[in-house]
Amino acid sequence: MTESNELIGALDAAQERIEVLARQQVDGMALPELVAAGVEEAAAMLRIMLVAEHRPYVSGADLLELWKTLVKGSPHWNTLRDNCRELVYYQNCLNAERADALPAQPERMVIHTLRHIYLYLRSHVEQNHGDKYE
């Protein structure tokens, strides 16, 4: 199996975990748990790309630190900035007990944001197939 196929497989596994979260969200998973799981899943996807691009990162780095590491020297990753910041914003609102500051239907937005991150990463790998990830 090529490195590109392994990378796509790792991202597809992340997408399967996102769909499990989506089902849990529909079944009434508590928002704090959903946001925490969403932030961790987004971080896991960024770690997949950091490994694929042979970029070292600090163990235990939070989502925004991972994004900053990924974007250095590759400005196209700025596309994910707002998605990462949105998840961190939800987390911060909940930690500060300010659920009133969240947008309407934050549970659905967590899932939509994770799906967007996955789709961007997967399409990036597909477009660079045979080039960067072989």
Residue 63 placed within a domain: yes
pLDDT digit string, tens, across residues 71-129: 998 999 999 999 999 999 999 999 999 999 999 999 999 999 999 999 999 999 998 86
Residue 98 placed within a domain: yes
Task: Give the span between the Cα atoms of 29 and 74, in whole angstroms.
Answer: 36
- Count of the separate structural domains present in the chain: 1
Domain limits for position 50: 3-127
pLDDT digit string, tens, across residues 27-78: 999 999 999 999 999 999 999 999 999 999 999 999 999 999 999 989 999 9
Residue 133 placed within a domain: no
Residue 118 placed within a domain: yes
Residue 105 placed within a domain: yes
- Rounded to two decimals, the pTM is 0.92
| pLDDT on residue 1 | 41
Lookup: tokens for 123 = 């399409």
Residue 132 placed within a domain: no
Task: Give the span between the Cα atoms of 77 and 67, in whole angstroms.
Answer: 8
